[in-house]
Amino acid sequence: MAERKKAARKPKDATPRFGIGEWFGNRLNELTPTERQYFGAEQLKKKRERDPQPCPFKSSQGNAICTKPGGVCSLRLYTYHQHEGTGRAAADIVAGTQGGLRATCPYRFRENLDIFRWVGGQLLGDDNPRLVGEVGFLEAGATTDNEGGDDVGRFDMILVSNKTAPGAPMEWCAVEIQAVYFSGDAMLGEFTAYADTSVDWIIFPAGRRRPDYRSSGPKRLMPQLQIKIPTLRRWGKKMVVVVDRAFFDSIGEMDRVTDISNADIAWFIVRFDEVPGEKHSRMVLDEVRLTTLERSVEGLTGGKPVPKQEFERRIAGKLKDAPTRTEADATGAEIPEEVPDQD
């Protein structure tokens, strides 16, 4: 035990860290020590030996099972303090919006299926639309190796109005839900710490990690929009993108349009309100932002091209060490490789 306490003292890097925000649908800071110990111990078992845990977001009936490894629904930022009496690493939630919840599981956005009520009411005039999942819209062409016809592109969710008059065109919109991935250390350190029966407080996160908005936005969400929206435009239909406030605030500024008829995308931005003493935070609609595909791509890219003169100045700064083709061939000089993303 003495060795464990020594290892848990103040870390060398005590800058704020991201740790568990919600665990199997419950806010970490509202779980009892016994509940945290139970969840932690379960994650240290072999997968087949763990008790199934309900997901409160998959269905309003509350009988669906969580399938996300580790059961972490969201992250949040914690600051370090020394636990009184033991000297071990404890944590407080960072104050203000910086300490808010960041959804890491797409099912987190299905709380009470409210998002479909909000989208249906505002875009279709029907707050009880039909929910149609996994609809293919791109088919592979025939090639040497296959006969074609297989779906190679799908819409995750289509909302269809129940209020369309008989014989009238179908009223529908497409919905894309995007949680944030995280980069850095896995959660095993946290699970191990909470499984310790001597720990009855919120620990300072054992690992260093962060929400990876670059991978979630430009690398994952943006290609989906670029593939799907041109087809929707031709059909005269709209795309809804559902993200949380922290995700949207990570995106660069994008011009708005004032009317849905001029928009390609309706961003439905939610936040998670927390009531002291309640284990479950409440998802509420924070804002609806209308914009075009082009402005959204600019925002997701998160940058503006430098002037040509500045770009050429940067080239000139590297010319001294740049070999010609023949020099590289004759001397084996190293040819610059593509620089990997520094996420």
- pTM attached to this predicted model: 0.83
Q: What is the rounded distance in angstroms from the CA atom of residue 25 to the CA atom of residue 28? A: 9
**Which tokens in the block code for residue 205?**
């996160």
Helix (H) or strand (E) holding 23: strand 17-23
Using 50, 70 and 90 to split pLDDT, how confident is the model at 336?
A: low
Q: What is the rounded distance in angstroms from the CA atom of residue 218 to the CA atom of residue 341? A: 12
What type of residue is 164? T
Is pLDDT of 341 > 60?
no
Handedness of CA 80, 13, 190, 5 (dihedral sign): negative
Q: What is the rounded distance in angstroms from the CA atom of residue 84 to the CA atom of residue 30? A: 20
* 188-195 helix and 33-43 helix, angle to the nearest 10 degrees: 130
Using 50, 70 and 90 to split pLDDT, how confident is the model at 137?
A: confident
* Alpha helix positions (H), 92-244: 114-119, 188-195, 213-216, 222-235
Strand extents, DSSP E, the chain: 17-23, 26-27, 72-82, 89-93, 102-103, 130-139, 151-160, 172-177, 181-184, 209-212, 239-244, 265-273, 282-291
Residues 95-113 pLDDT 10s = 999 999 999 999 999 999 9
Mean pLDDT confidence for 147-170: 80
Mean pLDDT is lowest, of 162-171, 221-230, 293-302, for: 293-302
Choose among 247, 202, 245, 213: nearest CA to 78.
Answer: 202
> What pLDDT, on a 0 to 100 scale, did the predictor assign at position 304?
66
Residues 47-79 pLDDT 10s = 999 999 999 998 655 678 999 999 999 999 999
Q: What is the mean pLDDT of the chain?
A: 87
Q: In residues, how long is the chain?
A: 343
> What pLDDT, on a 0 to 100 scale, did the predictor assign at position 333?
56
CB of 190 closer than 8 Å to CB of 20: yes
Mean pLDDT confidence for 319-334: 72
User: CB-based burial of residue 266 (10 Å sphere; 0-12 exposed, 13-18 middle, 19+ buried)?
Assistant: buried
Is pLDDT of 332 > 80?
no
Whole-number percent of the chain with pLDDT over 70: 87
> What pLDDT, on a 0 to 100 scale, did the predictor assign at position 241?
97
Handedness of CA 321, 324, 330, 335 (dihedral sign): positive
CB of 163 closer than 8 Å to CB of 52: no
Mean pLDDT confidence for 255-281: 94
Q: How far apart are the first and last CA of the chain?
A: 37
What type of residue is 55? C
Mean pLDDT is lowest, of 135-149, 190-204, 287-301, for: 135-149
Q: What is the rounded distance in angstroms from the CA atom of residue 242 to the CA atom of residue 132? A: 16
Residue 312 CB neighbours (<10 A): 11
Mean pLDDT confidence for 176-194: 94
Residues 22-51 pLDDT 10s = 999 999 999 999 999 999 999 999 999 999
* 222-235 helix and 293-301 helix, angle to the nearest 10 degrees: 180
Residues 114-132 pLDDT 10s = 999 999 999 999 999 999 9
